[in-house]
Amino acid sequence: MINRRQWILLAGSLSTLPLGRIGTAFASDATAKIKAAVDAAVKPVLAQYGIPDMAVGMTRDGARYFREYGSASPAQTIPVTRETLFELGSISKTFTATLATLAEIDGKLTLQDTVGQHMPELKGTPIAGVRLLDLATHTAGGFPLQLPDEVKTQDQLMAWYRAWKPKYPAGTMRVYANPSVALLGIVTARAAGQSFAAMAERRLFPALGLKRTFINVPEAETHAFAWGTSKDGKPVHAGPSPIAAEAYGVSSSTDDMLRYLEVQMGVARDVPEPLARAVAATHTGYYRAGPFIQAAIWEQYPAPTKLEDMTNGNSSQLMGARPNPATAIEPPLPPGGDVIFNKTGSTGGFGAYVFAAPAQKLGIVILANKFYPNEARTKAAWEMMGMFA
């Protein structure tokens, strides 16, 4: 166990280190304990699932620790660092939710609005009557997890939304899906009169204090963009899709994602007031589904919680690939309180996880360049959290 004073002293010693690998730069007992604990949690996962590289970041009270494994580009032996870019997969959805709540604060929309109020081309179809809140909580009525491969253009996408038919009444079942959250982003951008990517990259990311977070990775940053690993072991990045930006298209680094968690937990004090309100609004609890409370994308667990509940909540089979009854919380649960929240994310070549315990001001980021089970990510973060119990 590492106490708060040891952590602060450790963080002070690490802050003078270069941005490269910290691997062998351990001088204090506290540092050695963190290294041993992170290695114990991560190395078996790397070996079991054949993950080529991984970056781990931890923040406690705003002090950060980093640990990296492997190479961002094995062919060139480029070491992974805290600035290496990884595809975040569905963690991107939390940014989409934040843009929606920020648009609400700006007076451009409300989460109680229906899709048809902002998308006249969808009026007269079942999706037109779905609330934006339903899109943000996976309770729209039963979208498929993925957009069909044959849908490749915006025109085809709108035709697909027009043809969609719900399986359940809105607000009754949680069905995790990319197309529903993507539509939330499309509506938000339409209401704001901007492209989604421009809203995210020109306004949201800079306001959050994120310096290496992108939807479109600039050419100058491609050297720091890790290659993912496909099922057959080939280097891969996510391909184009008309819903990629809104649903799973953000790439970032451990350093930026720790900053993002610090904003979520209220540790970062330099966030513009409207944005801080928007971030807090994404933590409002709207539904109970399975073992967690569904907020606007974020999945929250009342603290203290059990590892079994979190692994079940992050299970692709239990909560990702099947519908689960959603019980509305009336009135919605306000942001705050003693909760733990998390989000997994995956693409064809990457697996990511973010975890935060605001009461302890503790956040954990795990970014890997290969898909591996959500349950393994949850367990590794849980073991790291145990250092501070």
Instruction: Write the pLDDT tens digit of every residue in 97-136.
Output: 999 999 999 999 999 999 999 999 999 999 999 999 999 9
pLDDT band at 317 (very low <50, low <70, confident <90, very high): confident
* Averaged pLDDT, 332-341: 93
Confidence (pLDDT) at 22: 31
Q: Residue 100 CA to chain centroid, in angstroms?
A: 15
Say what the pLDDT of residue 329 is: 98
Q: Is there a catalytic annotation at residue 90?
A: yes
Band (pLDDT 50/70/90 cuts) for residue 337 is confident
Separation between Cα atoms, residue 306 and residue 304, nearest integer Å = 7
% the chain with pLDDT above 70: 90
Looking at residue 382, its pLDDT comes to: 95
Residue 221 has pLDDT above 50, yes or no: yes
Question: Given the structure tokens 């995210």, which residue do they identify?
Answer: 200
Average pLDDT, the chain: 91
Please determine, for residue 94, whether its predicted confidence score (pLDDT) is greater than 60: yes
Q: Which of 35-44, 66-75, 292-301 has the lowest mean pLDDT?
A: 66-75
Look at residue 74 in the predicted model and tell me its pLDDT.
58
Asked if pLDDT for residue 39 goes beyond 60, the answer is: yes
Q: Say what the pTM is.
A: 0.93
> 389 falls in which pLDDT band (50, 70, 90)?
low
Whether residue 184 contacts residue 246, with contact meaning beta carbons closer than 8 Å, is answered with yes
Q: What is the mean pLDDT of residues 219-231?
A: 94
Q: How confident is the model at residue 239 (pLDDT cuts 50, 70, 90)?
A: very high
d(CA 370, CA 237): 11
What pairs with residue 339 in β-bridges?
Answer: 302
Instruction: Choose the catalytic residue: 71, 73, 90, 346.
Output: 90
Q: How far apart are CA 188 and CA 301, in angstroms?
A: 28
Q: What confidence tier does 177 reach under pLDDT thresholds 50, 70, 90?
A: very high
Q: Is residue 50 left, alpha or beta, with left meaning phi > 0 and alpha meaning psi from -120 to 50?
A: left
| Rounded-to-integer distance, Cα 205 and Cα 212, Å | 9
pLDDT of residue 13: 36
Question: Quick one: pLDDT at residue 75?
Answer: 60
> Predicted confidence band at 72 (pLDDT cuts at 50, 70, 90)?
low
Q: Is 49 within 8 Å of 384 (Cβ atoms)? A: no
* CA 61 to centroid of chain Cα atoms: 20
Q: Which two tokens stand for residue 371?
A: 């898909």
Query: Quick one: pLDDT band at residue 386, thresholds 50, 70, 90?
Result: confident
Q: Is 230 a catalytic residue?
A: no
| pLDDT of 24 | 32
**Percent of the chain residues past pLDDT 90, beyond the cut:** 83
Among 65, 69, 161, 176, the active-site one is 176
**Enclosing H/E stretch for 160:** helix 154-163
Six-digit token pair at 129?
């009557």
pLDDT score, position 32: 81
Residue 323 pLDDT: 96
Band the pLDDT of 73: cuts 50, 70, 90: low
